[in-house]
Amino acid sequence: MLDMAPQIQCNITLPMRRTLAENGVFLLRISVSLLMLSHGIPKALEYETLVQTFPDPLNVGTEMSAMLTLFAELGCSILLLLGLFGRFASMTLFIAMMVAAFAHHFADPWAVKELPLLYAAVYACLTLTGPGSTSVDAWFKRLMFEKEASASREPRQADPGEPT
């Protein structure tokens, strides 16, 4: 039987693949940060009433649980949005989502655990990949290592009186 499907040849170069991958990481990082901020901002605005009824799945107290959750959902989401301390922020959010899924929602049905687990999967990916090349982390890394590399490439200047 003849294969009637047209053959599509994909000639994507390595730099193009890197660019596409970096754009994918950027889109994932920005979108998940903004989505998580939609959970953290309402909690921060209702903090006074939140601490009275907030669950305490780790037995550290309701106020401490609320503060840790706000730190993750609000603080780390902002860090991740900027790409600042990206791996730390995504790992912190991963842990928060695992606690939400398996400690807070332990007895709940799968449908309730699904959203925190989906967030956790995204944060696990971002922990492994890092925040990408369009981040404050990458900018700082380029700034530091390019300065060191250019300093090591410059020829040493002879001291006065030293033969050249």
Query: What is the distance, to the nearest Å, from the Cα of residue 97 to the centroid of all Cα atoms in its chain?
Result: 13
The pLDDT of residue 46 is 93
Section 41-62 average pLDDT? 90
Residues 6+ apart with CB under 8 A from 51: 62, 63, 66
- pTM, rounded to two decimals: 0.78
Task: Please report whether residue 107 resides in a domain.
Answer: yes
The most confident of 42-56, 68-82, 143-157, by mean pLDDT:
68-82
Look at the chain and report how many structural domains it folds into. Answer: 1
Task: Please report whether residue 31 resides in a domain.
Answer: yes
| DSSP H helix total and E strand total for the chain | 7, 0
Residues 6+ apart with CB under 8 A from 41: 74
Place of tokens 């902002």: 78
List the domain range (segments joined by +) for residue 110.
Answer: 22-152
The pLDDT of residue 76 is 96
Question: How much of the chain, in percent, has pLDDT values that exceed 90?
Answer: 52
Task: Please report whether residue 66 resides in a domain.
Answer: yes
In whole angstroms, what is the distance from residue 13 CA to residue 15 CA? 6
Task: Please report whether residue 45 resides in a domain.
Answer: yes
Task: Please report whether residue 27 resides in a domain.
Answer: yes
Task: Please report whether residue 17 resides in a domain.
Answer: no
pLDDT for 61 beyond 70: yes
The pLDDT of residue 83 is 92
The answer to whether 73 and 36 have CB atoms below 8 angstroms apart is yes
DSSP secondary structure, 18-82, as one string: HHHHHHHHHHHHHHHHHHHHHHHHHHHHTHHHHHHH---TTSS-HHHHHHHHHIIIIIIHHHHHH
Task: Please report whether residue 157 resides in a domain.
Answer: no
